[in-house]
Amino acid sequence: MGASQADRVQLGARVRKLREFRGWTSVAAFAKHAGLSQSVVHRTEMGKTHPDFWNLARIAAALDVTPQYLAGMIPRLESAPLEVVVRTQSVNLFIEQNALDANDAESMRALAEHHDAPTTVEEWRRFRSLFSRFEELREARRSTLGDMRQFPSTHLRPASPEGQTPAQRRMKAHARSKN
């Protein structure tokens, strides 16, 4: 059983809006990027045909959204602004492709709510890579600071009966020599 004319038109409108949002002004260039013929993309956008599953999957992948979204199967996103749709869809694809655990997935979805969040799977990949590197550096810093606390530096401890550090004594001596 085929899709209704209204379903085909809505699908075509979603594809066209997303294609333009992603910067693909030319149907031909987008079709080449998606690995499809220009005719398939054009007929889909015009609502003249509903692509088969494989073509729908290719279009969705090229737009960083799910086939379910393109097919109108996610009602809560129907009235959402396009920016919210692309952030939500791209983070969900990223989570699915990278098999993130529930805690990481929830953190990524929370980040997707920010207006400056990544809007493509590749941007999410780069973001996660940078964030992971940041976490590694932070952990390394914590362990280094922990080591430093075990062995406090002698130049930070008062070394004289007056309670002055060597650096403070040098500064005082320098100030006296100027007078």
What is the spatial distance between Cα 114 and Cα 95, in angstroms, rounded to a whole number?
17
Lowest mean pLDDT among 34-43, 133-142, 151-160: 151-160
Q: What are the residue ranges spanned by the domains of the chain? A: 1-77, 138-178
Average pLDDT, integer, range 46-74: 92
pTM for the predicted model, two decimal places: 0.69
Contact 11, 3 (CB under 8 A): yes
What pLDDT is attached to residue 152? 53
Predicted confidence (pLDDT) at residue 159 exceeds the cutoff of 70:
no
At residue 13, φ and ψ (nearest 5 deg) are -65, -40
Q: Which residues contact 10 (CB under 8 A, 6 or more apart)?
A: 47, 72
pLDDT by residue (tens digit) across 73-84? 888 888 889 999
CA 141/CA 148 separation, integer angstroms: 10
For residue 86, what are its two tokens?
């692309």
Residue listed under structure tokens 């004289």: 160
pLDDT bucket at 174, cuts 50 / 70 / 90: confident
Pick the CATH number of 1-77 from 1.10.260.40, 2.40.240.10, 3.40.50.300, 3.40.720.10: 1.10.260.40
